Chain A
Amino acid sequence: MPGRWDWLKEELSGISMLTKLPTMTKFLKGKISGPDDMTKCSMCPNMCRHACPISIVDGKETTSPAGKSRVGMMIENEVLSLDRENLLPIHMCLSCGCCEIWCPFDFSVSDILRPVKTRAVEHNIVYEEFVELFDDLRENGTIYEEIEDQGDLPDDGDVLYLRGCEYREGDSEVIDRTMSVLKKVGTDPFVIYDEKCCGIPAYNTGNIGLFEDLIEDMAEKIRGSGADRVVTSCPSCAYAYKELYPEFDQNIDAEISHIVEFLEGKKLKFAPNKNTDRFTFHEPCKLVNGLGKKESMQDLLDRTGLELEKPRRNGDETFCCGSGGTTVSRLNEELSSEVARERLSELKSLSDEIITSCPTCKRTFEDNDEEVKVHDIAEIVDGLL
């Protein structure tokens, strides 16, 4: 079988060594070490533009995926100075990973640009909106001002349910329904009352120092709970615990799952569907692209027997709700809402009843449209089990 580069070797065989050596060296360098990832991304004609929610909605070269890398490259090359105005396009990223699906190098623009964001934070070049966030994370351990846990939830059991900042702050109903689901599948769920942020907002904004402090604290709490099984409502939290914590040397022995992943392999006996409503669904980007669960949510919903309308953008072509990645919703609220409205218009053309499995997506849709009813998947599952 011929090798990948045999054609080139054959082509070069007729050329004198003196002529071919410089080119061969450059070719080899390109293949072996190559340019850095940011440069490679900058040289692409935006072959993931169609998948990037920001790029589709904002319509600007500057905030397109390769466009952001080009700005990053210009900052690194000192064509642009490292300041708030020049950093702004780089922060117009929802960290949804939709670009990665289409990239021949498997790049995530969010990952490529994180070092630039981190350098900015290290030089104390941060936005007021970030200062507020960092203060809340540092002082209260959440993205909100101090959260007072409501209700009477058990603090001992066999499955640790991490509710996440979003539901702890505003949606005790989903918390109760998730606890109910966990009980119905035969587990004994419990919570920790001093639950803190998973750290991902600090990671997204480039504050790696703060991220490391947060994850050290939270990892210790999870380890201290003694649970060997952890379930989250938020796919970003699950992604952080499963993927980012080990990368930053915070290993948790417990098996961690988002609720959709947790229910994936379970035998679930759903009651016959008496609901005549038609539903549509929105798969969160961190579940699909971050945790790699491309079909899990659809599979689970299919098992419920509900009447479902599949959106055009589904599976690994899902579209962000507009609030992913921490930075866009804080620095450009209007753009974040535009992305939400783009997704909502697609979903609403199918149904006003939307099922999702992410607290941020749920809150974002509810904030942007009073007509729609947004359900967490746990509410749906609980109602039918």
Chain B
Amino acid sequence: MKKKDEGKVDKVIDKLSESFEDNRLSTKKTDLLSYSHDYWPISLHWMLEDKFPSIPNAVVWPEDKEEVKEVVRWCYKGRVPLYPYGGGSGVLGATVPEKGGIIIDLKRMRSLQVDDQDLLVEADSGLNGYYLEDSLNEEGYTMGNIPQSLYPSTVGGWVGTKATGQFSTKYGGIEEMLKGIEVVVPPGKILNFKPHPRTSTGPDLRKLFVGAEGTMGIMTKGWFKIWPYPERRIKLSYASERLEDAVESVRKVMRRGAEPAVVRIYDEMETKRHFYDHEDIYGKIATVIIIEGDEKIAEVEREIVEEEFIGEYKGEGPVDHWLETRFNVKEASEFVPMGVVFDTIEVAVNWSNAEELYERVIESIKPIKGVLFASAHASHFYPQGICFYFTFAGTPPRKKDAESFYQQVWSEAMKAVIGSGGTISHHHGVGRQRKDWLEDELGGGLKMLKDIKEKIDKRDIMNPGNLGL
């Protein structure tokens, strides 16, 4: 940050210190370094190398929307970059404060209220995901948004990244759950879009903030649809000979209108990796399915799955194994510090191009020098198509640093996705990692997005640089 800009930031920090007590506004080095990264592998790599190229000037923890408004107002006035921060579990660098400025962490805003009759939950943006779901379960409901980051992530982060969870095939993504939203936008204005079952009142402005990753404003509260806690859960698993068989089976299930909550199809390598202790599945294509909800509906959905599935039924064991291990993120801790480059890339594609996309992405990654393996599972399903979740690992070859190696893999994968007619992101968002491919995805739409951003945030303070905006 330039000296002139630092002066501006200092003035804003001085102003904020008039209303935020010491423990809610910090310029301590420990805090600044703690907010210099999120869970983007590149930023973790920086931390391991003791490099901190993106350090904020201050961190602030508001407790209500008025305080958020005040932070936005002063930052806008002082032209100081402002980065909303939730659980820090985003994997694409969306919260990395690349231009310095102020981090606004929403985690001290965490109230929730359930409306039984309307089946809605009103939740503050900083509310922890597990806290929300566990509290709902206790009262006899579920929201059904169970991302792998359920434990560390926040409601605001889910909306910001347009997240989706493991049970999305039934419950939908966060954009379908969100019925109303309260946001603070520059220059410091609170907008409240109340929840309605449906509304036909012009373009849906609520959606402007879903997946905007903090570039348009700051969500302070949301209203989400909830469901009575499922009275029945059915667990099914299959071993198929070919990936195409399993994919085609699920396509037919979806086409008939059944909506299993969880469906996961593992390619041969991932089946070996995840189900190595299930000998009868090893080397095949494993599919785990969970159907849940109303007893009668669930039974009908089970019948549809059983009628359509091409593969040998393998009971509940593999599903239980998946349930037990689904939050395990051990590998990153074990291997990344040893120099292994490891990441996941999730994309979506219509059924008609599914097979081609899977093959092209795997074939684009595997030949890269240093890549050890590339594999995938399909994790979310729609009547129109499928989400593939690719995993790769390797070590950079000699004379190539980890970051360039990582970017080479990403670049080849993104090209393959676009070439196969897929979308470059299914639920992790764009952040700073995917921004260079956004134009290929949106075409002229990117210019429109930039124009909208400029109109809302003329001084470009809201998470500048993120999404390439």
List A residues at the B interface (Cβ < 8 Å): 1-4, 6-8, 10-12, 15, 19-20, 22-23, 26-27, 29-31, 34-35, 39-51, 56, 58-62, 64, 67, 70-71, 74, 77, 79-80, 85-86, 88-89, 102, 104-105, 312, 332, 334-335
Contact = CB atoms under 8 A, between A and B. Distances in A.
Contacts of B372: 8, 11-12, 15, 20, 23, 27
A80 B29 contact: yes
B329 A88 contact: no
Interface stretch (B274-282, B351-359, B448-456): B274-282
Interface stretch (B103-111, B175-183, B244-252): B103-111
Given A7-B272, A334-B23, A39 B337 contact: yes
A79 B49 CA distance: 10
Interface stretch (B2-10, B122-130, B256-264, B421-429): B122-130
A322 B337 CA distance: 34
Contacts of B233: none
A70 B29 CA distance: 13
B96 to A, nearest CB: 13
B87 to A, nearest CB: 7
A8 B288 CA distance: 22
Given A10-B272, A70-B47, 14 more contacts: A30-B334, A40-B334, A43-B48, A45-B329, A47-B327, A50-B150, A56-B128, A60-B61, A62-B31, A62-B34, A64-B152, A70-B33, A74-B33, A79-B52
Given A11-B372, A56-B131, A85-B30, A34 B334 contact: yes
Interface in B31-89: 31, 33-35, 39, 44, 47-48, 50, 52, 59, 61, 85, 87-89
Nearest to A15: B372
A31 B34 contact: no
Given A43-B44, A56-B131, A23 B105 contact: no
A22 B338 CA distance: 11
B138 interface: yes
Q: Which of B30, B48, B272 is the most central at the interface, judged by chain A CB atoms within 10 Å of its CB?
A: B30
Contacts of A49: 87, 128, 151-152
Contact of B105 (A59, A86, A335): A59
Contact of A104 (B29, B131, B276, B330): B330
Q: Which of A8, A47, A77 has the most CB of B within 10 A?
A: A47
Nearest to A66: B152
A59 B152 CA distance: 11
B394 interface: yes
Nearest to B150: A50
A23 B340 contact: yes
B328 interface: yes
A371 B134 CA distance: 28
Given A7-B276, A23-B395, A50-B129, A45 B89 contact: yes
Contacts, number: 167
- Interface residues of B toward A: which range? 35 or more
Nearest to B277: A1
Closest 10 CB pairs of A and B: A59-B107, A7-B272, A50-B130, A35-B337, A40-B333, A46-B152, A59-B108, A62-B34, A30-B335, A23-B395
Nearest to B271: A7
A43 B336 contact: yes
Contact of A27 (B149, B330, B333, B335): B335
B112 interface: no
16 contacts: A7-B273, A23-B395, A27-B335, A27-B340, A35-B333, A43-B48, A49-B87, A50-B134, A59-B105, A59-B126, A60-B31, A60-B34, A60-B105, A88-B30, A104-B328, A104-B330
A43 B49 CA distance: 13
B110 to A, nearest CB: 7
Interface of B: 23, 28-31, 33-35, 39, 44, 47-48, 50, 52, 59, 61, 85, 87-89, 105, 107-108, 110, 126, 128-131, 134-135, 138, 149-152, 269, 272-273, 276-277, 279, 282, 327-330, 332-340, 369-370, 372-373, 393-395, 397
A206 to B, nearest CB: 17
A48 B47 CA distance: 20
Nearest to A1: B279
B342 to A, nearest CB: 10
Nearest to B44: A43
B332 A86 contact: no
Contact of B30 (A19, A43, A47, A71): A71
A192 B272 CA distance: 61
Nearest to B106: A59
A325 B343 CA distance: 37
A19 B369 contact: yes
B276 A2 contact: yes
B156 to A, nearest CB: 12
A282 to B, nearest CB: 17
A45 B335 contact: no
Nearest to A3: B276
Contacts of B89: 45-46
Contacts of A31: 334
B138 A61 contact: no
B124 to A, nearest CB: 11
A19 B393 CA distance: 13
A5 to B, nearest CB: 8
B189 to A, nearest CB: 24
A19 B370 contact: yes
Contact of A48 (B59, B61, B151, B273): B151
Contacts of A4: 276
A74 B31 CA distance: 12
B179 to A, nearest CB: 24
A41 B276 CA distance: 26
A59 B335 contact: no
A228 to B, nearest CB: 42
Nearest to B23: A334
Contact of A61 (B35, B134, B151, B277): B35
A33 to B, nearest CB: 9
Nearest to A75: B30
Contacts of A10: 272
**Which among A11, A31, A334 has the greatest number of chain B C-beta atoms within 10 A?**
A11
A327 B229 CA distance: 40
Contacts of B282: 2
Contacts of B129: 50
